[in-house]
Amino acid sequence: MADVVEVLVPGGKATAGPPIGPALGPLGINVKAVVDEINKQTSNFNGMQVPVRIDVDEKKNFTVTVGIPPTTALIKKEVNIEKGSPEPNMQIVGDLPMEAAVRIARMKANDMLSYDLKNAVKEVVGTCVSVGVSVDGKRPKEVLAAIDAGTYDSVFV
């Protein structure tokens, strides 16, 4: 029977300490080798929390599967902020270009409820509301209305 360990780690900076070490130690595999593999695969997500799944088979072979960080983490990385606004409706802490919203939507496509890119981008823009980030210099709710009106249809191709 295979064992599965799912953890959230800092991109490119996982260590043998908690949560990885204690979870993998009892399975009898080389924790350092697993940590090295996780860091290699998550280096692009530096500064973000990344979901990671480690499958360990009966022969102590392991497979690391890296998920996509949460949408909020991707937005914060794009606009180069460490945390969202303490008052999202009052205080804007960054501006996300529409191209970046589309890029994030494409990255997160498999994790989203949306059936098409247009609605996936609307999910990303909706997340900007709670983070306190404007989109293309406008309030996210204005951008959502513009998306519905077809203003941005050319970027969803």
Average of per-residue pLDDT across 25-43: 93
Per-residue pLDDT at 60 exceeds 70: yes
Q: Which CATH architecture has domain 71-156?
A: Orthogonal Bundle (1.10)
Average pLDDT in the chain: 92
Check if the beta carbon of residue 88 is closer than 8 Å to that of residue 130: yes
Q: Residue 126: which of 139, 108, 107, 110 has the closest Cα?
A: 139
Amino acid 113: pLDDT: 79
Q: How confident is the model at residue 2 (pLDDT cuts 50, 70, 90)?
A: confident
Check if the beta carbon of residue 106 is closer than 8 Å to that of residue 117: yes
User: What pTM was estimated for this model as a whole?
Assistant: 0.77
Q: Indicate the domain borders of the chain.
A: 3-66, 71-156
In angstroms, the CA 121 to CA 113 distance is 11
Report the residue count for the chain: 157
Check if the beta carbon of residue 51 is closer than 8 Å to that of residue 8: yes
pLDDT in tens, 75-90: 999 999 988 999 988 8
In angstroms, the CA 59 to CA 70 distance is 33
pLDDT in tens, 94-123: 999 999 999 999 988 888 778 899 999 999
Task: Identify the CATH assignment for 3-66 out of 3.40.50.150, 3.90.105.10, 3.30.460.80, 3.30.1550.10.
Answer: 3.30.1550.10
Coil, strand or helix at 13: coil
Amino acid 16: pLDDT: 93
Amino acid 1: pLDDT: 63
